[in-house]
Amino acid sequence: MTVRLDLEDPIRYSHPAPPCAVVIFGANGDLTKRKLMPALYRLAYERRLPTGFAVLGVSRTAMTDDGFREKMRGSVKEFLEDSPFDESLWRGFGQVLFYTSGDVGDPALYEKLKARLEEVGQSRQTGGNALFYLSTQPSHYAPAVRGLRAAGLHRASLPGAWRRIVVEKPFGRDRQSAQELNHELQSVFPETAIYRIDHYLGKETVQNILAFRFGNGIFEPVWNRRYINHVQITAAEAIGVEGRGGYYQEAGALRDMVQNHLLQVMATVAMEPPAVFEPDAVRDERAKLLRSIKTLRPSEVAGNAAAGQYGPAVIGGTPVHGFREEPGVNPEAQTDTYAALTVEVENWRWAGVPFYIRSGKRLPKRVTDIAVQFNSAPLSMFEGASGREWPNLLVLRIQPEEGISLRFSSKRPGAGMRLRPVTMDFNYGASFGARSPGAYETLLLDALEGDATLYTREDMVDASWAVVQPVLDVWAGQKHNFPNYAAGSWGPKESDEMLARRNHAWRLP
């Protein structure tokens, strides 16, 4: 394979992953085309893939290997972000793609797959290692796992070779179905071979939270209830449901973003330092934090959670549908396209510090960030002069602009002690001048290397479902007054009221 090496950081590119075949279930689906294939191509571009490597796509649609290659070529060209498409690299990369069709519930598929894996493994020298990637609709997860076991594909036959399985979200639709899915997976694969993906953990800026907290001496001493007043975690999207109305109508924002991505981000912000930087040590701390979150009683849900659904609006002169008018959506849908939660952590570090989490579709802009607001100075000796106090605010910007900023007060030039807030800014791109790898690149490579640090474990998934379950239950039994926010606005007033109850307000990200 002809590859070009990006030599910005030679250490990063010095250990290619072990030989292996990646078997993608759902190879004809959206995720494969938008995320998985561009990420694999990009890893090939950076010479991170082993020489003994193959991708075996599996899906119901009949297609030849060449047909699959052509289709994937189009997808990579279309969805490759911030890097060029290289025809000469594709000529080599395309040749390692193979395809098998069949019905996920049909035992014959797995016999066919077994033969194909054997043949591809021989020709591509994959060393008997295989990573199965479940990227189908969730109802196909259990049949796929059972099919793999029945055909004996869950165990490698060569000594020292491995089998692993990556499971996409949604991981269950409530706590019980997640437990059932865990049980199903663990009856076939050991927990150490199960990789539950949460792509937010793969984002460079989310990983940087750990570097920021535990690689510096000055932040951790103030990272607690004595100095921090509250934390706001925002994941706003400007887009609507983008053709995913059918899926989204059943999911809603609380399941789609909060239960997984944002609680994992919160755990990263609030966890204790791990004893060592090793997968289970890091995951133990995240799990422990998630387990320390206070479980809401049904009577507490109204005061600590807010649901919203966008209605129609005209944005920049263009009329925009409300959620209920989106294709595939029931005109009376009770789905939350916005969810906000007040989370309390019951441990010595955080008791009494609210963590406010919000996520929504059709908000004014796409922005994900974490704002840590510190307590004000104990004496406001300049208050009279400035008229207003600006407590220190640390913002960890996850996307689209990646960086960290710290707000503090400064004296305005001139006579008197008049203060004004100013910010100290770190910008990822400007400081490193290099492209950050996409979350799927990082996570796929980690799975190939057997590093589960950024994957969620059974106890983490269960603990995060336990946080949202009381809210889901109360919301399910209630008729919401939807739509309650206009597309293009910052969400429903119920969400502002939730913070106002504690004398706080959402900041404008």
For the chain, percent helix, then strand, then coil, each to nearest 5? 40, 20, 40
Query: Which CB, 265 or 371, lies closer to ligand BG6?
Result: 265
Q: Which of positions 114-143 make contact with ligand BG6 (CB under 6 A)? A: none
Q: Which of positions 156-175 make contact with ligand BG6 (CB under 6 A)? A: 169
* Smallest gap from residue 320 Cβ to ligand BG6 (A): 17
Query: Which CB, 117 or 398, lies closer to ligand BG6?
Result: 398
Check: CB of residue 329 under 8 Å from CB of residue 241: yes
Nearest residue to ligand BG6 by CB is 256
Query: Which CB, 138 or 273, lies closer to ligand BG6?
Result: 138
Q: Which residues of 167-197 are buried (b: 16+ CB within 10 A; e: fewer)?
A: bbbbbbbebeebeebbeebeebbeeebbbbb
Phi-psi region of 11 (alpha: psi -120 to 50; beta: other; left: phi over 0): alpha
Nearest of 460, 177, 473, 472 to residue 292 by alpha carbon: 460
Other beta carbons less than 10 A from residue 250's beta carbon: 13
Q: Which of positions 7-66 make contact with ligand BG6 (CB under 6 A)? A: none
Q: Quick one: tokens of 246?
A: 């059918």
* Smallest gap from residue 169 Cβ to ligand BG6 (A): 6
d(CA 93, CA 73): 10
* Smallest gap from residue 11 Cβ to ligand BG6 (A): 27
DSSP letter string, 251-299: H-HIIIIIIIIIHHHHHHHHPPPPSSSSHHHHHHHHHHHHHTBPPPPHH
* Smallest gap from residue 255 Cβ to ligand BG6 (A): 9
Which residues are CB-neighbours of 121 under 8 A, at least 6 positions away?
21, 54, 127, 128, 130
Which residues are CB-neighbours of 155 under 8 A, at least 6 positions away?
163
Query: Which CB, 169 or 397, lies closer to ligand BG6?
Result: 169
* Smallest gap from residue 197 Cβ to ligand BG6 (A): 10
The site map against ligand BG6 for 286-315 (x = CB under 6 A) is ------------------------------
Query: Which CB, 305 or 439, lies closer to ligand BG6?
Result: 439
Considering the rule CB under 6 A, would residue 369 count as an interface residue with ligand BG6? no
* Smallest gap from residue 407 Cβ to ligand BG6 (A): 24
Q: Residue type for 213, please?
A: R
Query: Which CB, 315 or 406, lies closer to ligand BG6?
Result: 315
* Smallest gap from residue 237 Cβ to ligand BG6 (A): 6
Nearest of 243, 359, 262 to residue 310 by alpha carbon: 359
Nearest of 117, 36, 43, 21 to residue 72 by alpha carbon: 36
| Identified binder of ligand BG6 from the candidate list 55, 57, 131, 237, rule CB under 6 A | 237
According to DSSP, the β-strands at 338-344 and 354-360 are antiparallel
Check: CB of residue 79 under 8 Å from CB of residue 38: yes
Question: Sheet containing 20-25: which strands, arranged edge to edge?
Answer: 97-101, 53-59, 20-25, 130-134, 163-167, 194-196
* Smallest gap from residue 201 Cβ to ligand BG6 (A): 11
Considering the rule CB under 6 A, would residue 256 count as an interface residue with ligand BG6? yes
Query: Which CB, 169 or 175, lies closer to ligand BG6?
Result: 169
Query: Which CB, 237 or 336, lies closer to ligand BG6?
Result: 237
Q: Quick one: tokens of 241?
A: 């449901």
* Smallest gap from residue 393 Cβ to ligand BG6 (A): 22
* Smallest gap from residue 35 Cβ to ligand BG6 (A): 9
Catalytic-residue membership of 199 = no
Q: Quick one: tokens of 260?
A: 């997984």
Query: Which CB, 73 or 169, lies closer to ligand BG6?
Result: 169
Phi-psi region of 503 (alpha: psi -120 to 50; beta: other; left: phi over 0): left
User: How many residues belong to the site for ligand BG6 (CB under 6 A)?
Assistant: 3
Q: Quick one: tokens of 248?
A: 């989204």
Considering the rule CB under 6 A, would residue 494 count as an interface residue with ligand BG6? no
The one catalytic residue in 140, 154, 230, 261 is 261
Query: Which CB, 395 or 419, lies closer to ligand BG6?
Result: 395
What's phi and psi for 465, nearest 5 deg?
-65, -40
d(CA 57, CA 65): 9
Other beta carbons less than 10 A from residue 227's beta carbon: 13
d(CA 22, CA 43): 13
d(CA 396, CA 379): 27
Catalytic residue positions, numbered: 261
Interacting residues toward ligand BG6 by CB under 6 A: 169, 237, 256
